[in-house]
Amino acid sequence: MSERLQPGDSAPAFTLPDADGNEISLADHKGRKVIVYFYPAALTPGCTKQACDFTDNLAVLAQAGYDVIGVSPDKPEKLAKFREQEHLKVTLVGDPEKKVLEAYGAYGEKKLYGKTVTGVIRSTVIVDEEGKVERALYNVKATGHVAKIIKDLGI
């Protein structure tokens, strides 16, 4: 199981394909704060709710200086379908090898319906302008999470 990130840690660098197959890097966002959120799978109810919440609040977050990147183990084709079907505006990237998910502590053992399974741990890491972890939130709920982030960040 991967180690969880702590405030002050350097956010692991990554370059992953987005829904259109374009390479998206954390480094592309240097100088802006980035909310990197990790979710188990596109086109599932909880993940759809969370992605729609981020899309609905994208302008508010952008105005406060935050970019948003959603990371899942999905391939770009599935991300594209997810984006079209749900009219998502948030940047979605795929990590089929789960290397970035592991680097961020967002993949490992978790409880699912009372059983211990290995999978994506719904998590959010807020990275500052210098690429350092400002906050690392693990085992977050899909519903109400975006509103909590906005409240906690004082936006």
Q: Which of 24, 47, 58, 90 is catalytic?
A: 47
Rounded Cα gap, residues 30 and 130, in angstroms: 6
Residue 61 has φ and ψ, to the nearest 5°, of -65, -45
Residue 80, amino acid: A
Q: Which helix or strand (DSSP H or E) is residue 16 part of?
A: strand 15-17
Question: Degrees (nearest 5) of the Cα angle 131, 107, 4?
Answer: 50
Q: Is-catalytic flag, 47?
A: yes
So which residues are the catalytic ones?
47
